[in-house]
Structure 1
Amino acid sequence: MFDKIKEKLDQLAKESAERISQFDDKVAEKTDWRPLKRGGKNFGSHSLKEINPNRVEFKSSPGSFLFSSIFMVAGAFLAYSGISGLSVPLTQLFESNEWLPVLAGVVFFLIGSIFFKKSVRPIVFDKTDGMYWKGKKAPQVDSSVSNTKKDAVRLSQVHALQIISESVSSSNSRSYRSYELNLILKDASRLNVIDHGKAVKVREDADKLSAFLGVPVWDLSR
């Protein structure tokens, strides 16, 4: 049994190496081709928009706003229902089990708020600043210290775009494929840009971004 598993893993590794070799690039050989960001949405969460000739941004789709809004509305409703239905004073709330619906509502609302904050955060590629970053303000990256931060990098460090996919299991036991678009830097490290469930849209936006940055797309998601 273990021999068969090992044989299968070796075969998959060999096939992956052969596919990576098509890019004919030493950086590709050093790059990790496993998912960088586990999980992912099963809808198109972002779309690439041209702001001006020197700037493009990934903007959140209406589906992202709806996704976060559902959590926030459900949380607010649970919390309100829990508080309005209390049979004990608020000062005695934690002495009974009636705090559980209120807590659940607060947790749902906070999760929705986090999703909403992330969904409204622009993902920016700006040639004027020479930077990629996530957020409303361009970060300060001191070239004498480092060219990268967690969600920011100088465009001069971007070597290629990577598209990979993974199978994600949902809570109802159904699975779907999620597609990552990552930046591959000159040192073969990676930064995740977006991750959602629409393969056609990811590839279309990757091609646009490739033309904007002047770097290739390395796609192993097919």
Structure 2
Amino acid sequence: MNDFLLYIPDFSHALVVTLGISLCAALSGALIGFAAQAMSRMNALLYGLWRTYVWLVRGTPYLAQLAVFYFGLPAIGITLSAVEATVMSLALYSTAYFGEIFRAAWKSISVGQLEAAQVHDISAWKSFWHIQTPQALRFSFPLLGNQFISTIKESAVASVITVPELTMTTGQIVANTYTYIVPYTLLILSYWLLAQGVSIGVRLLSRTSVEG
């Protein structure tokens, strides 16, 4: 028990770092993914560019993308801190996945509703914002929550560029103390707590949206 208490301060700080990185990346990724998916519906060129981006991002490991941001960008005069590189790369990485969630959500809207909107002379723009999007968001809440949890887990990759998040902190404790069970137990518990927090938040949001 004393060992657990001894490491609590280090893990508390690392938990805040992990949550901050994940939250910034997930919110940015969700907003960019929503906007990109919405704009891609406007014409074939935007659709082609967006699908290419999704294909490239989802087809390559996040570690490689993080390396480009942190080690590659300085070659063209752009130097980012480890945290900045992590947030930006993780946001752009998660953008592709959030965008796919919104694409599936919009496709779930029945064609009959869109036809009814046309019959009542509702413009495509109003139909998109007032009919399709509210339903799509309610449909996508669980999927968005799952992607947020995935983003939290992906943030562990930032340990390779010395971001003091949970995985990096655990590695440092293990290297300094040569103890394994307590640090890795705390690591697992920390990620589990973050995932449970997200799941509870998503359920509350889903319930609120249905009741509203």
When normalised by structure 2's length, the TM-score is 0.29
Q: Which has the higher contact order (CA 8 A, sep 6+)?
A: 2
Instruction: Return the structure number with greater strand share.
Output: 1
Instruction: Return the structure number with greater helix share.
Output: 2
Rg larger in structure: 1
